[in-house]
Structure 1
Amino acid sequence: MRQTELHLTEEDRAVLDDICSKGQHRAREVRRAHVLSCLDRGVPESQIMAVLGIGRTTVWRTRLAYLQGGIDLAVFDLKRSGRPRRYNSDDEARVVALACSTPPAGRKSWTLGELQRVARQEPGLAGMGRETVRRMLRKTISNPGAG
């Protein structure tokens, strides 16, 4: 298969050499830097794949990312937003306030199960689980059982 030629600038070569020579980068970043460096020197894809232990699509994607966006896009991973928070700080404050309130009749202190049951009755907290309540309370320094 015919390779697309890749020509790096002197500045990009220097950046890639720094990435490959210093132990301050993730393994996948170093591997991508090696791919670009090898492509720049005209090393065949099959040899790159054999030496680095990667697939053809990794070589293709790394080359394409460099051509589209340079070193930053080709070597480094983009930041990911992650899953949005389900409950905001107001919801957490409501759960903490509930935990600091007077426990149910016949109880000396709140249990996580009781907090979950009561929190689920609040508007907007219907799907809250026991572990979520525990994590919210862990963030606070308060000890609702002490008193």
Structure 2
Amino acid sequence: MRQVELQLTAEDRVKVEEIRSKGVHHAREVNRAHVLWCLDRGIPEAQILEVLGVGRTALWRTRAAYLQGGVERAVFDLARSGRPRRYGAEAEARVMALANSEPPQGRQRWTLLELERAARQEFGLGSVSRETVRRILKRTGSGTAAAG
């Protein structure tokens, strides 16, 4: 197996050593730092795979990422966008205002079912689900609604 040479810069060696020895990092980040450290020292790939217990693809991807973008790109995962929130702060505030308002007649407090029904009457919240209402209440620390 032909090994591609990889030489870290002095600055990158310091970064890799810090990741390997200091702070709190995810295991995969530490493994990637170990891979870079080994490649920099010319350790054969077969030995790296055996000792670190990483796959050949992980080793190749770590090397390629370093060559493309340095230590930051090789060690740390890229941020992922994820699905955008469906209801923003304004919608959450309206649900909270409902939860803190007077409960329906004949009730001492709101239930999730009643909050969901009331929220659906609000403009822009027509498709809000009971689970979404529950998560909003939980996230904002309001326990005014009873389960149900």
Same fold at TM > 0.5: yes
Counterpart of 1:96 in structure 2 is 96
Which whole-Å CA distance do the structure 2 matches of 1:114 and 1:37 have between them?
Answer: 59
Which whole-Å CA distance do the structure 2 matches of 1:17 and 1:90 have between them?
Answer: 46
Aligned positions of 1:24-63 closer than 5 A: 24-63=24-63
Aligned positions of 1:1-147 closer than 5 A: 1-138=1-138, 139=140, 143=144
Contact (CA 8 Å) 2:109, 2:144: kept in 1 or not? no
Change (3 A) 1:134 1:43: same
Cα distance, 1:118 vs structure 2: 2.1
Matched residue SS, 1:114: helix
Cα distance, 1:119 vs structure 2: 1.4
Cα distance, 1:15 vs structure 2: 2.1
Cα distance, 1:142 vs structure 2: 8.0
Matched residue SS, 2:121: coil
Letter in 2 for 1:72: E
Which whole-Å CA distance do the structure 2 matches of 1:16 and 1:101 have between them?
Answer: 55
Letter in 2 for 1:81: S
Mean CA deviation greater in 25-34 or 13-22: 13-22
* TM-score using structure 1 length: 0.83
Structure 2: where are the runs of 5+ without partners? none
Cα distance, 1:23 vs structure 2: 4.8
When the two chains are superposed, the root-mean-square deviation of aligned CA atoms in Å is 2.3
Letter in 2 for 1:60: W
Cα distance, 1:141 vs structure 2: 5.1
State the number of aligned residues: 145
Letter in 2 for 1:117: R
Cα distance, 1:84 vs structure 2: 1.5
Change (3 A) 1:7 1:140: closer
Cα distance, 1:114 vs structure 2: 0.9
Matched residue SS, 1:120: helix
Which whole-Å CA distance do the structure 2 matches of 1:110 and 1:23 have between them?
Answer: 46
